[in-house]
Structure 1
Amino acid sequence: MKMESPVVTHNHISPVPAQPPTPIKRESFQGYAAQPATPADSVVTTVTQIAPDPANDNDRIGLKADHRTPAHRLFIEWPSMTNFCNGVPFIQRLLQEGHRIDQYPMLMEQDRGLLRVWGVGEGHDLYDGAHGPGSPENHLESDSPSPAATKEGLWGCPPADHSSPSTYNGDLPRHDHVGGLGPDGKPDFNSQTLWKLYRSYQENIHNLHPFLNPAKLRKMIQEFQDVYSPDRKNSTMSPSAVPERLNGGMKRKRSSSMFGDAYGLADELARGSIERSLRNAIILLVLALGKVCLHKEKLPHPQSDRLPTANGTWGYHRDSPRSANDSFSSDGSDTRARNIDILPGMAYFSYATDILGNQNGGNTVAHAQAMLLAALYLGQFGRVLESWSWTNNACRICLVLIRREGKKVYRKKITQNAAGQNVVEDPNDDGQSAEERHRLNLIKCVYWTCLQMESDIIAEISELQPSAITQYQTKIEYPSGVYESFGEGMPELHETSEHTKNLFIYSSQIHLRVILNDAHNSLYGARLGFDSNNIDEIGNMARSHAELLATWRRLLPEPLAWNDSDPPSTDINIARMRAKYYGGYYVVLRPLLFKAIHHMKLPPTVASNNSPLPTDTSFGSNPHRDIVDLSAEDEKALKIVQSCVESAIQSTIAFDRIGADENLPYRNYESQRKSRLIVPNIFGTLHAQFGNMLVLTAVYTSQMRRFLPEKNCLTKDTLTALFTRTQDILRDLSGNSPVLSLDYEILDNLARLHNIPYRRSR
């Protein structure tokens, strides 16, 4: 099998030394004359780069739907995985119903329905006029009791009087309520709580996606406290503390005091009335995110409407299903806890999204920011379709904004004058005021956040239709503080603040995301620009993307650089950067790994050997490796396989030391994380890890495994340890995600099929 190694050497890579690249023979290369369109000014040392016009190459720019990267597509793309789901009941029912295996994520996410923000559980509104009579589960028939009709219903409603909290679930809100209610049954706006949640947001979310202005947000929180906190410093509030926006249109009886109106309004606000402004929605969402990020243990999940039943088509078991007696009282009334009582931050989120429901037609930066915050909150619970819906709304708004501003938000271009000299054309060099630059910078921040969040979802659920947001990825300028390139002109990280360091990492996230978007299209898209049966053309395409990633890594400043032999980082931002790099490297090499496993012609002495795979945990004593003389081309192919395997492993374990003691030794791929993993899209992160495990198992169970290098890292012990850590984290999210719950079942079944003795925790 002829295969050119795409592995590129650089200062920070420590594994097998790569061979100097040799030209690939391309008898019928059709396609990729130019490098992938990326903002990968990250891989050049100049500050600017000519951006291609999307109109001239529209099919190659922007992430497209139906690419074949996601983990669940492996089941129909890789023949070696044909039997991986044998024995999984849900998959067998799926096939009997005439569906493909790879359809399970969308089917399960659609059929789970919506989170009932004010009510209990999740599901569809079966009395919306579009459904016939049915039970709370879609497509299910069950003899389990249905909740009796109540005033609040399954969907619930906001308490009409905050001074008399609802007793829908029979319990009064308690102090430090998990959902965010105070002892009096209204959202907890105690001053100490506000600032605690604000700090939690800054440390956990702003640190990952800095699209809100920190100084302005702090001021907004302060003003919110002055109006709504019951323990504000002054028992009476000056008129200036009541924002003017609250007074417009409110007719009140004139007080004998000149400040009577303000005091009266303050009393009304203190009783729980919240002005339904966009500003308040943003603050409430910040509080919701701060609250959920303070929850360091496994997140609670909405409680099921009914017991899981054997005849349920798409039903799934939560980790702790309640019995019918627990869910309903003897008279059939529902006694389950409301979501605002059990889901961290839900009390703030429910009020915020009520406000956003009336703001859905807005097209300002603040509207986009609010939608992104809502998406990030739902993303913590693995609710990928609902998170995508909010993200998609933010993308729609962002497209309106950038089309309106046009060249004001475009990046600099380089042209040549008559003398052949490069001239930088700055479409923004028109004497803009500081206020105008700040306004445009907010649009840029929102744009790049929208692009990252939408792309991260569609990378793992490619059945969703993306917006046109990524079609502008070669044109929109980066926000201030985000570096267009790594190399010349950059300050030394040793001499800068933590904020600047985080901006370096944020820059990396942008660069890597766009490189990966191009890889999804080029290597996995519906319209490939090369012959997918020609190994030379596959190798050329993979090598071009691998070189982009390797060059990006080589240009990292010293404090961010690492060796492949280093343990995973304890810093969440650095871990995200490494995870995206390794995940990307694995993705671009995976087509070559596929060819190696399924089409590599093994030496006859082994190809004809039907003996079972060796059970030893080290390949150093493999006799086949000693007696078979592999060709130079086979050796190159095996190095590619090795590099892909190592990248898949590194991507899988990248977050396993978050919050751990840096001095604690890291051994045997055992997770040292002490608390819940907080990332923007936990579903995408874990579904990708699930896919990594499928591919690693395919390599481990293939005949090709016998020929991997002597120091190969894919041993039985390694695979067992990786199964243990992956199943542990999938189990933690299984209650909130039916897809991740099924991913867990598939891997558990796979371990049984291939005798992988991992430690089961349930």
Structure 2
Amino acid sequence: MHPIMIPEELDALVVLFLKEIPQHKQQSSVRSSSNPKFVSQPTSAAPSLPEAVGAKRKRQLGGDDPAPSFNIFKPGHPFRSIKSAIVLLVCALGKICLHKQRIPDIVREQGEAQPHRSPSMRNGGAMSPIHGSPPGLNSHSQSSGLPSPQDPCDRTMPSRRAPMQGNSTGVRPTPIKRNYDGIPGLEYFALATDILGSHLGGIDLKHVYAWVLAGLYHGQLARAVESWAYIKQGCTVLQEVMRTSIYRFHEIKMGDGYVPQESRRDNQVLLAYWTCLQLESDILAELPLSQSPILQYEDNMPYPNTTFVTTYGYTAEECGSYFAQLHLRRQLNEIHSHLYNPDKIHRPSSPETIDEGLHGLQTQLKTSRDIWVPAAFRWHDDEPPAGDILSARLRAKYWGSQAIIYRPFVRHLLEKEPIPYGAYKDPRLPRPESFHELAINIGDKSVPEGVDPRTLNYARLGIEALIQSTSAFHGMPRKQRIIVTNIFGTAHAQWGNLLTLAACYTDPLLTRFVDSEVLSGLFRRTIEFFDVIAHRSSPLKSERNILFGLASDLSLLREDPPTSSSFSSMTSGTTPVATSAASHPPTSHYGNICPPTGSSIFASHHAHSSRP
């Protein structure tokens, strides 16, 4: 998805990591039975600990009985270098990406079942996935044996004195489960971030990789704020890395726009730059967080060399998908500048109307789609959703950009807001006989007086884009996690899409463009998607419940989402946009449904981006 590191360099880091990691320390408890007991010396230089007061004496073996032998293996800690942190983070990210089922939720604290006893609930916040319950005796994680910094002994450790444990039966207590016993890769991540914490002052390109990898791991856990914090730190480090090269990059941009293939360092810096920019922008599209400094250099930065990317281990499909995503990112920024810039919207002397601007934007997006989309990823609008993740991501971002283009017109009709000044070059309403010439397709129903058919047609295109954007990942295997860089942003965008479609479904004018069966399939498939990724400690759980309640109130759930076996047209991958709905509920109660401010549909301050 993001060719940020050269594979051969990563392989070299792994080899170096395996060579430098200390060997396992083996301590044997075997005593020779041929020597008298008083001659035997402890095998360790450390003095033996005295027995706890009140503890029972163990029966000593007879002089002729052989002592039992067992080996204690204590894994060695890797060196606390940034290279070790990168390898551990790659292991963590790889392990969680291989886990296609639902990721287990964080471990409940002791007494958390009673909310008034939980300190985290008293403070109104959920516990971080890294900070689990305190480790118990003889508990084993699913790790590869690398020690974790999450193992300190604290005041909650069980006492060594057996009578104080209330376990009079002699049965060993059940080990206390920890977070990294269930969350894939967390044991690697905990050790890596412990190392990374001692490299806060590092300003090397490897430090950028480490921060980005840590952010990507949090992204798999749907922890968007934590992911943003790590990625933003990587962006800040990257600014220092390329500080002396910004002017030179600007000169390259003013030339042919590409750096030479031989400039290995420049290509690596640019790959890191565009990766950081995309990852951060995808998060900022859904959350009102601050931007990093690197976003101000976007217009001055050239693209990395495509031949360089394919030469060093990435396939042509991966390279093509990456650069198509870059093109969409630039066009999304153009959309934001043209449609959501207050200076342009309210300036009467603007030489270009919104209608003309839309045609210009579509020239770069829809009209030339066969040019900027690689041949392996091209599609027709009536095709079912893609079955591979690279194609699905590209289509999702494309349809998200289309929804951003047309959403002002959807909002205008839903909220009865006035169209901005200078929307159309000809303010007069077009006549029906000119609809075909203007590519206006608004169905066979009459248009209410005062409604511009051009606005209604743009709203239709926006609704179609919302449907396509919501169903973009429905070709992937069901009831499995989809591996994207920002699962929270993807889910949150689909949540906002469905709220808007529900509002259109109950609107007397826009209901003609939303088919009830299609909307029902979208709700059921999206709720099923939320069931796989939403946890009790995640805001996605609340969004899932909102979708379920809304779909139930609108009578869109024909069967229970978790056990449904067919989704009408959604199972086959088709997402038709009907010109008339079979049946619709009354509009009095839900006529004003719209996403809250800050969602991916209407918030203008997020309009520069789309989901991953």
Displacement of 1:651 after TM fit?
Answer: 1.0
Mapped partners of 1:515, 1:627: distance in 2: 35
Displacement of 1:687 after TM fit?
Answer: 0.2
1:128-139 equivalences under 5 Å are none
Mapped partners of 1:600, 1:379: distance in 2: 37
Q: What letter matches 1:290 in structure 2?
A: G
* Residue in 2 that maps onto 1:718: 518
* Residue in 1 that maps onto 2:403: 586
Report whether the alignment pairs 1:444 with 2:237: no
Given the two structures, how large is their TM-score scaled by the length of structure 1?
A: 0.53
- Given candidates 543, 563, 567, the residue that maps to 2:384 is 567
Aligned residue for 2:468, secondary structure, equals helix
* Residue in 2 that maps onto 1:704: 509
CA contact (8 A) 2:259 2:302 kept: no
Displacement of 1:316 after TM fit?
Answer: 8.1
- Given candidates 227, 235, 241, the residue that maps to 1:395 is 235
1:204-603 equivalences under 5 Å are 208-228=1-21, 271-305=75-109, 306-307=112-113, 309=115, 314=124, 336-410=176-250, 412-414=252-254, 424=255, 434=262, 437-461=263-287, 463-481=288-306, 499-524=315-340, 527-531=342-346, 537-555=353-371, 556-599=373-416
CA contact (8 A) 2:13 2:87 kept: yes
Closer, same or farther: CA 722–381 of 1 in aligned 2, 3 Å = same
Mapped partners of 2:473, 2:240: distance in 1: 36
Closer, same or farther: CA 736–350 of 1 in aligned 2, 3 Å = farther
CA contact (8 A) 2:92 2:217 kept: yes
Listed one character per residue, the Cα deviations across residues 658-684 of structure 1 (whole Å, up to 9, x for unaligned) are: 3xxxxxxxxxxxxx4362111000000
Mapped partners of 2:125, 2:531: distance in 1: 17
Aligned residue for 1:675, secondary structure, equals coil
Listed one character per residue, the Cα deviations across residues 581-634 of structure 1 (whole Å, up to 9, x for unaligned) are: 001111111011111223389xxxxxxxxxxxxxxxxxxxxxx97673668974
* Residue in 2 that maps onto 1:757: 557
Listed one character per residue, the Cα deviations across residues 262-320 of structure 1 (whole Å, up to 9, x for unaligned) are: xxxxxxx98412101111110010111111111110011212332374997957899xx
Aligned residue for 2:344, secondary structure, equals coil
Report whether the alignment pairs 1:748 with 2:553: no
Closer, same or farther: CA 313–368 of 1 in aligned 2, 3 Å = closer
Mapped partners of 1:654, 1:399: distance in 2: 34
* Residue in 2 that maps onto 1:679: 484
CA contact (8 A) 2:481 2:533 kept: no
CA contact (8 A) 1:365 1:398 kept: yes
Mapped partners of 1:654, 1:394: distance in 2: 30
CA contact (8 A) 1:585 1:644 kept: yes
Q: What letter matches 1:474 in structure 2?
A: D
Displacement of 1:573 after TM fit?
Answer: 0.8
- Given candidates 455, 467, 470, the residue that maps to 1:652 is 470
CA contact (8 A) 2:207 2:234 kept: yes
Given the two structures, how large is their TM-score scaled by the length of structure 2?
A: 0.65
Mapped partners of 1:521, 1:470: distance in 2: 14
Displacement of 1:543 after TM fit?
Answer: 4.4
Mapped partners of 2:106, 2:390: distance in 1: 30
* Residue in 1 that maps onto 2:152: none
Q: How many residue pairs end up in the alignment?
A: 446
Displacement of 1:716 after TM fit?
Answer: 1.1
Aligned residue for 1:628, secondary structure, equals coil
Mapped partners of 2:277, 2:500: distance in 1: 28
What is the percentage of aligned positions where both structures have the same residue?
Answer: 33
Q: What letter matches 1:755 in structure 2?
A: S
CA contact (8 A) 1:539 1:592 kept: no
Listed one character per residue, the Cα deviations across residues 37-82 of structure 1 (whole Å, up to 9, x for unaligned) are: xxxxxxxxxxxxxxxxxxxxxxxxxxxxxxxxxxxxxxxxxxxxxx
* Residue in 1 that maps onto 2:604: none
Closer, same or farther: CA 736–291 of 1 in aligned 2, 3 Å = farther
Unaligned 5+ runs, structure 1: 1-207, 232-268, 415-423, 485-490, 492-496, 602-623, 659-671
Mapped partners of 2:331, 2:185: distance in 1: 35
Closer, same or farther: CA 387–533 of 1 in aligned 2, 3 Å = farther
CA contact (8 A) 2:22 2:77 kept: no
Displacement of 1:745 after TM fit?
Answer: 1.7
Mapped partners of 1:567, 1:427: distance in 2: 35
Which one scores higher on RCO, CA 8 angstroms, separation ≥ 6? 1
Unaligned 5+ runs, structure 2: 25-72, 133-155, 159-164, 168-172, 419-441, 563-612
Mapped partners of 1:215, 1:691: distance in 2: 41
CA contact (8 A) 1:328 1:334 kept: no
CA contact (8 A) 1:281 1:355 kept: yes
* Residue in 2 that maps onto 1:689: 494
Pairwise CA RMSD of aligned residues?
3.9
CA contact (8 A) 2:208 2:235 kept: yes
Mapped partners of 1:599, 1:646: distance in 2: 20
